[in-house]
Structure 1
């Protein structure tokens, strides 16, 4: 088959690598220019560089809505488009252009976690599994019929970085298997149950701000969902923004006002958490390590020399 690829960052890079190894004819790669967005500078293996190394023509576009791109696609005459981590909506004149349409690779177990940053949101929400879905693109975001899904378990203590590495390794086999099924006529498409669909927006730095009214269990997952190299979860102390590098849920229950710097426990310092922390029935968040604006990392027990005061 003649294949056009739309994609960006490491997800797109892995997809293009699978296509190049698949035996199909990759006739064009469309990718975004480099971005200064904090989340788009992470996992930024270049689709353009990989394509150029293999003499695949490359087009750089922020959006796919110009006549020149559409004409180039028509001239390329693809049998299928394969997309992964394309950051804007593709119009039907593009996704329905090839005879086999557009196969989109999305890093969640659709219909849940459609949209953006699915691994981060899934970890924050305490999901037990994450994965990758290959589905046919239609006019609704991440809503098309599913061809293949692969899942991995979320273990206690996993960070989003751990989940990224496990799910990104699923991309190449799922792309190759999907193309084999489509090319051989053995593809079986399954409609999504739209009553189970959930949609999430792209994360920004403000989404990493700690809200001390959340239960400590949720905050501990937020910290793991914002592990290096992602922008860490953060709070403010005495007018200075501090990033929380690692944390745990306290063994004991603590009462008081959310955000209170309370007491040492184990290797960290307990911060009172939970909207109903005043009842004394909530566990606190034990901050273990943090990073100050100068980039230095500290044990919380060294940074919080005295107890008292508030974060937030």
Structure 2
């Protein structure tokens, strides 16, 4: 088959590599220009560089739909478009152009976690598994019929970085298997169960702000979901922003006001957590390591020299 690829960052680069290795002809690649957005500087392997290395024509677009791009697509004459991590909506004159339509590869187990940053949101929410879905693109973002899915378990200490490496390794096999099914006429498309759908927005600075009324178990996952190189979970101490690099759920139960810097436990410092913390029946969050705005990283037991005071959402 002749294939056109739309994609960006490492997800798109891995997809393009799978297409190049598949034996199908890659006629054109469309990718986004480099971005300064915090989440788009992470996992930023270049789709354009890989395409150019293999002599595949490349077009750079923030958004599709202009006449030059539409003309290039018609000239390429694809049997199939494959997309992964394309950051804006593709119009029907593009996704319906090839005879086989457009195959989108998304890093969640659809219909859950459509949209953006699915691994981070899934880890925050305590999901037991994550994965990758290959589905047909239609007019609703990440809602088209499913062809293939692959899943991996989420371990109790996994970070979003761990899950990225585990799921990005699924891209090559799922793209290869999907193309084989489509090319052979054996593809079976399954409609998504819309009653199980969820859609998540792009993350921004506000989404990393800690809320000490959350239970400690949720906050511990929140910290793991924003592991390096992602922007870390942050809070404020004495008016200064600090980032929580490592944390755990306390063994003891602690009562009081959420955000109170309370007591040492093990190798960290307990912060009172949970909306019902006043009952004294809830664990706190043991903060182990923090990072200050100057980039310095400290053991929490060194940073919090005295107990008392509060961590707050804002200065």
TM-score under structure 1 length normalisation? 0.99
Using the TM superposition, give the Cα deviation of residue 88 of structure 1 relative to its aligned residue in structure 2, in angstroms: 0.3
CA deviation string 1:13-58 (max 9, x = no partner): 0000000000000000000000000000000000000000000000
Alignment of 1:65-144 (within 5 A): 65-144=65-144
Matching residue of 1:205: 205
Matching residue of 1:32: 32
Using the TM superposition, give the Cα deviation of residue 71 of structure 1 relative to its aligned residue in structure 2, in angstroms: 1.1
CA deviation string 1:143-174 (max 9, x = no partner): 11100000000011000000000000000000
Alignment of 1:243-262 (within 5 A): 243-262=243-262
Matching residue of 1:43: 43
Gaps of 5+ in 2: none
Using the TM superposition, give the Cα deviation of residue 185 of structure 1 relative to its aligned residue in structure 2, in angstroms: 0.5
CA deviation string 1:65-117 (max 9, x = no partner): 21211111111110000000000000001000000000000000000000000
Matched, 1:172 2:172: yes
- In 2: Cα distance, 1:69 partner to 1:277 partner: 57
Alignment of 1:258-269 (within 5 A): 258-269=258-269
Matching residue of 2:292: 292
Matched, 1:231 2:231: yes
Using the TM superposition, give the Cα deviation of residue 220 of structure 1 relative to its aligned residue in structure 2, in angstroms: 0.2
Q: Secondary structure at the match of 1:270?
A: strand
Gaps of 5+ in 1: none
- In 1: Cα distance, 2:141 partner to 2:7 partner: 16
Q: Secondary structure at the match of 1:235?
A: strand
- In 1: Cα distance, 2:257 partner to 2:66 partner: 54
- In 2: Cα distance, 1:236 partner to 1:203 partner: 20
Matching residue of 1:215: 215
Using the TM superposition, give the Cα deviation of residue 201 of structure 1 relative to its aligned residue in structure 2, in angstroms: 0.6
Q: Secondary structure at the match of 2:132?
A: strand
- In 2: Cα distance, 1:68 partner to 1:280 partner: 65
Using the TM superposition, give the Cα deviation of residue 179 of structure 1 relative to its aligned residue in structure 2, in angstroms: 0.3
Matching residue of 1:193: 193
- In 2: Cα distance, 1:67 partner to 1:272 partner: 58
- In 1: Cα distance, 2:67 partner to 2:7 partner: 19
- In 2: Cα distance, 1:283 partner to 1:139 partner: 46
TM-score under structure 2 length normalisation? 0.98
Matched, 1:159 2:159: yes
- In 2: Cα distance, 1:69 partner to 1:260 partner: 56
Q: Secondary structure at the match of 1:229?
A: coil
- In 1: Cα distance, 2:182 partner to 2:253 partner: 55
Q: Secondary structure at the match of 1:15?
A: helix
Q: Aligned-pair RMSD on alpha carbons?
A: 0.5
Matched, 1:306 2:306: yes
- Deviating beyond 2 angstroms after TM superposition, the runs of 4 or more aligned structure 1 residues are none
- In 2: Cα distance, 1:264 partner to 1:205 partner: 29
Q: Secondary structure at the match of 1:111?
A: coil
